[in-house]
Amino acid sequence: MSGWRAKNYDCQACGGATMTAFGRNAKIQDWLYRKERGSPFLIRFIAWLAVTVGRGPTRLLLHPIALYFLICAPRQRRQSQAFLNHALDRPARIGDSYRHFLCFASTILDRVYFLTDRSDLLQVEYQGLEALDAVRMQGRGAVLVGAHFGSFDAMRALAIGRPEFKLKVLMHVGAESRISAILHTLNPHLKEMIIPLGQSGSMLRVNECLKQGDWIGVLGDRVVMEGKTRAVPFLGQSADFPVSPWILAAVSKAPVVMFAGVYLGGNRYQVKFRLLSEGNISGPGERDTAFQTEVDTYVRTLEDWVRAHPYNWFNFYDFWA
């Protein structure tokens, strides 16, 4: 791992919301290039309804939407059941997949309220904020590593409500999902949070932001480009996880904090934080060992959270392929 510099990371992706793949394997093609279901008109209509009519009446639409996906999206239904077989330690039933789709639809609806600064309609509990406060009091930035698990926007709402937490999100805007592209129009200021991945100077900007005490949010559960990975047992079967978020943190000597915004049902969310690394890695030999340990800790923690809240898992593809 010796010789790494910030400039290398333009070709070593760091797990944003969606990113460009260069044909690493079929799994990347499966989740990255699959056609997204749902018409732009319907998405805009539901967003308008959520703002105009309110959360309660709009939630009534989520049940037929979940039923539609259960019936008309057989591939996603099969992947949901395959995942739930692992997470529930029993054969998944059709009702489990319905609940899975309903949980996903609920978090999409609530994105409207998180993104329009209406999180007062939601009950959000934070666990582990002391990890963020301890780093902030040192005047340091940190890499926040999440997953496609729960609501990223529940965590992002913390930065909107507490300006002392200056959050930037590392993602590939060119591959942004249709839902995200439409919902982001609700709050144009969100663009100020985004650092586009793959553009000239993006990683230099990340390094500068970390040095001035900003937080960099990435998602660390999908392998999106050719780069260093680690195979780790996850829910009883080996899966590849990217090492790049930890490489990024090591270059800037930044701590790594894991997070998840878990949907608990109704209007309740629980945002969890856990410190994974203090950012004190030194030599190349120590880095390799530290990266392995930190990825393993990330995966074990993710597994614990997923088993506790399996319907918050939003990777609707064969994760172990």
Q: What is the overall mean pLDDT for the chain?
A: 83
Q: How far apart are CA 80 and CA 315, in angstroms?
A: 8
pLDDT for the residue numbered 7: 33
On whether residue 308 sits in a domain, the answer given is: yes
Question: Average pLDDT of 79-87?
Answer: 97
On whether residue 31 sits in a domain, the answer given is: yes
Q: How far apart are CA 313 and CA 222, in angstroms?
A: 13
Residue 96: closest CA among 108, 82, 109, 106? 82
pLDDT for the residue numbered 259: 96
How confident is residue 198, by pLDDT bands cut at 50, 70 and 90?
A: confident
On whether residue 320 sits in a domain, the answer given is: no
Whether pLDDT at 109 is above 90: yes
Tell me the two tokens of residue 54: 């309110």
On whether residue 318 sits in a domain, the answer given is: no
Tell me the two tokens of residue 206: 């990340």
Whether pLDDT at 29 is above 70: no
Q: At what angle do helices 94-115 and 152-161 cross, to 10 degrees?
A: 20
Report the domain count for the chain. 1
Angle, CA of 110, 114 and 120, to the nearest 5°: 95
How confident is residue 81, by pLDDT bands cut at 50, 70 and 90?
A: very high
- In this structure, what are the phi and psi dihedrals at residue 23, rounded to the nearest 5 degrees? 70, 35
Kindly state the DSSP code that residue 140 receives in the 8-state scheme. -
pLDDT for the residue numbered 21: 32
Q: Are 230 and 243 in contact (CB under 8 A)?
A: yes
Q: How far apart are CA 191 and CA 303, in angstroms?
A: 31
Question: 73 CB contacts (<8 Å, ≥6 apart)?
Answer: 37
Query: Which domain, by its residues, includes 107?
Result: 6-312
On whether residue 317 sits in a domain, the answer given is: no
Pairing of strands 268-277, 256-265: antiparallel
Q: Are 269 and 125 in contact (CB under 8 A)?
A: yes
On whether residue 125 sits in a domain, the answer given is: yes
pTM of the model: 0.85
On whether residue 48 sits in a domain, the answer given is: yes
Q: Where are the beta strands (DSSP E) in the chain?
A: 123-127, 142-146, 167-171, 194-196, 215-219, 229-234, 237-242, 256-265, 268-277
Q: How far apart are CA 293 and CA 123, in angstroms?
A: 34
Q: Coil, helix or strand for 160?
A: helix
Cα radius of gyration (the chain): 19
Tell me the two tokens of residue 133: 């406060």
Q: How far apart are CA 247 and CA 244, in angstroms?
A: 5
Tens-digit pLDDT profile for residues 286-318: 788 888 999 999 999 999 999 999 999 999 999
Q: At what angle do helices 62-72 and 74-88 cross, to 10 degrees?
A: 100
Taking the chain, what is the end-to-end CA distance rounded to the nearest angstrom?
27
How confident is residue 255, by pLDDT bands cut at 50, 70 and 90?
A: very high
pLDDT for the residue numbered 53: 95
On whether residue 118 sits in a domain, the answer given is: yes
